[in-house]
């Protein structure tokens, strides 16, 4: 496994719409492994492929409650409620904001074996699903419609 370079705000890779993964091959499996290692090394909750310069619809997320979740071609199929919570991003270090996200989401995606799976998340996991899937469409949490306001470390 390798630690990958995380792209920072201003990098055009973060604004590109990612392509669907047609075949889950060794390159995709290696990408999943490397992304998980990179996310953990950076002390993150999630990482999307464009954050490491790869324009494919691939995401990894890990919380204490969920364990590692690997998503290939994810899509949100249900949204419910609303939460206003603090959110940050590995691609925008040293900044965070209060965002408006669904309180609960349901996501459908392929796993590393090519099986279609459904995941449900509330709270932090729901925010992570939304945040990382937004990355696949070239969106950042700081974009209008998601960000309520930026906050400082003291807040």
Residue 41 lies inside a defined structural domain of this protein? yes
Residues 13-63 have pLDDT tens digits of 999 999 999 999 999 999 999 999 999 999 999 999 999 999 999 999 999
61: CATH: 3.90.45.10
- Of 62, 70, 87, 132, the catalytic one is 132
Is 132 a catalytic site residue?
Answer: yes
> What's the number of domains the chain is made of?
1
Residues 82-118 have pLDDT tens digits of 999 999 999 999 999 999 999 999 999 999 999 999 9
Residue 137 lies inside a defined structural domain of this protein? yes
- Looking at residue 153, its pLDDT comes to 72
Q: Which domain holds residue 137?
A: 12-151
35 in Cβ contact with 47 (< 8 Å): yes
125 in Cβ contact with 72 (< 8 Å): no
101 in Cβ contact with 146 (< 8 Å): yes
pTM of structure: 0.96
Cα–Cα distance for residue pair 74/110, rounded to 1 Å: 7
Cα–Cα distance for residue pair 101/49, rounded to 1 Å: 21
Which class for 5: exposed (0-12), middle (13-18), buried (19 or more C-beta within 10 A)? exposed
99 DSSP 8-state letter: E
Q: State how far Cα 146 lies from the chain centre.
A: 14
- Looking at residue 1, its pLDDT comes to 75
């Amino acid at each position: 496994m390798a630690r990958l370079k995380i792209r920072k705000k201003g990098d055009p890779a973060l604004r590109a719409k990612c392509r669907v993964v047609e075949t889950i091959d060794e390159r995709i499996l290696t990408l999943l492994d490397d992304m998980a290692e990179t996310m953990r090394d950076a002390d993150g909750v999630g990482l999307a492929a464009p954050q490491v310069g790869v324009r494919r619809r691939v995401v990894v997320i890990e919380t204490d409650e969920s364990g590692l979740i690997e998503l290939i071609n994810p899509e949100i199929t249900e949204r419910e409620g609303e939460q206003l919570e603090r959110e940050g991003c590995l691609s925008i270090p040293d900044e965070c904001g209060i965002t408006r996200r669904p309180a609960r989401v349901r996501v459908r995606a392929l796993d590393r074996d090519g099986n279609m799976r459904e995941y449900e998340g509330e709270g932090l996991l729901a925010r992570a699903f939304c945040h990382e899937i937004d990355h696949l469409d070239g969106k950042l949490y700081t974009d209008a419609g998601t960000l309520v306001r930026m906050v400082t470390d003291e807040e």
